Amino acid sequence: MANLSSPDPDFTRSPVPSSARMPRFGLTMAWWSVCSAMFWLGVAATLAINYGTLNTLAGLALSAFCYALINGVLVRHAISTGLSVGLFSQTLLGRSGAALATLIFFATALYYGVFEGSVIAVAIQGYFPSLSLNQVYLLVVLYSVPLVLGSVQR
């Protein structure tokens, strides 16, 4: 179990105190960033082609509702306790099970980095056909890596 009472300057082993928590607007923006994933456009278009527009819209609405419901409970718990995802996983799954959250974040970041980057690169190449796809991939990497390592991360 996590030692939740010891002082921890980076809050990896203790709950985040109210004074160090992310402000409400920042938390809202982090939550809504999921909705901005361009990959949803590709999934929705594929589903609409295969199952029809009405079925796709109903499925997307239900998935968004379920996602909001489940995460609403988890967010309220995180706000009231100050536990991070890692600490929450460690509380539920034990010390070795806490690695699961890190692996899920890693897989998700890799997935979106590759596929969203590819969608953006193809879109840019559509506007600038004189650029090769490899050049556009390099452009996407050159602008997105500083965003991840810079102020967006903070």
pLDDT at 11 over 80: no
C-alpha distance from residue 61 to each of 65, 97, 120 (Å): 6, 32, 25
Cα of 131 vs its chain's centroid, Å: 30
Rg (CA), the chain: 19
Supply the pLDDT for residue 125.
93
On the 0-12 / 13-18 / 19+ scale of CB atoms within 10 A, 120 is middle
CB–CB of 14/4 below 8 Å? yes
Which single residue is written with the structure tokens 């079925």?
Answer: 55
Q: How confident is the model at residue 12 (pLDDT cuts 50, 70, 90)?
A: low
